[in-house]
Amino acid sequence: MTMNQLKMSTIITIIAFFCLSSAAISAGQQLKRHDPSLAVSADSAIRQHRKNRIFLIDVRNRKAFGTLRIPGTLNMPLYAVKTQPFLKSRPIVLVNEGFAGSLLERECRQLDQKGFKASILTGGLNAWRYRNGPLEGNLFEVKAFSTVTSRIFHQEKDLTKTIVIDVSEIRSSTSRQLIPAAIHLPQIGASAKQPIQNFSASDLNASVREIKKNPNSAILITNQDGKGYEHIEKTIAKANLGPVFYLAGGLSGYSRFLEHLALSRKPQAKRVKTINECSPCGKKSGSESLE
């Protein structure tokens, strides 16, 4: 198989994988609905935490927690929360970076059934930082709160609260195929090259303005390669959309993730591709033997 044939095969594999996923949804599997009754806003959590009225439970791994955290937060794995009876003495609020909420919602319902009063910090640590909640640790690592990996995005993309904004200058076929519901706003992406001085929410289209009416929306910004986000952040701040997230590696990174995911679901024998037959051991390319 030639290199061009291999590339074409890879592209077809990704598109086929995506089409099968989309077909499942269109065949009756609706988008997963976010439950707003389980959500607590960052402003409310900040006030209650200051008055010691809640337990904040940070469910990130120990390394991430040790790097940067909310003062006074308890750190434990999500599965371990239900094993701590003392947490029933006051309401608990589950905390992570903020984008991945489906697992937290599921655990919240189970905790409620076991006698806990559980909820989730809307927007997680990213929203807490945006609302100027106190943090301790290495503040240079704060951008980790707003970074979303391809794996996490794929896990959460079918939730109704997830809104993707593609800020690429030109919306590519990859974007249309992999994230068809994404809103294309090239004027934001253009700010990475030439900052927009007077950009505001009024410059956004009607679909995006509607976002501001739903405080539980998770807004994800992406472009083709995941570069230049630091410049785009300034424009997003002017638009006053609240805390937003950024897809690590952009559309290219997500495409590679889907490629690996699709290949991982194939039998092992079909994962290995031979591009060119190698020369027998002890021989150079062609028919020349090593002396």
Convert the pLDDT of each residue in 100-129 to its tens digit: 988 999 999 999 999 999 999 999 999 999
Structure confidence at residue 255 (pLDDT): 94
User: Which pLDDT tens digit goes with each residue over 238-256?
Assistant: 777 789 999 999 999 999 9
Structural domains of the chain ordered from first start: 36-142 (3.40.250.10), 149-264 (3.40.250.10)
Average pLDDT over residues 184-212: 60
Provide, rounded to the nearest whole percent, the portion of the chain with pLDDT above 90: 52
Ramachandran angles phi, psi of 281, nearest 5°: -55, 140
Q: For residues 206 and 61, which has the higher predicted lDDT (pLDDT)?
A: 61
pTM above 0.75, yes or no: yes
Q: What is the pLDDT of residue 117?
A: 96
3-state secondary structure the chain: CCHHHHHHHHHHHHHHHHHHHHHHHHCCCCCECCCHHHEECHHHHHHHHHCCCCEEEECCCHHHHHHEECCCCEECCHHHHHHCHHHHHCCEEEECCCCCCHHHHHHHHHHHHCCCCEEEECCHHHHHHHCCCCCEECHHHHHHHHEECHHHHHHHCCECCEEEEECCCCCCHHHHHHCCCCEECHHHHHHHCCCCCCCCHHHCCHHHHHHHHCCCCEEEEECCCCCCHHHHHHHHHHHCCCCCEEECCHHHHHHHHHHHHHHHCCCHHHHCCCCCCCCCCCECCCCCECC
pLDDT interval class at 25 (50, 70, 90): very low
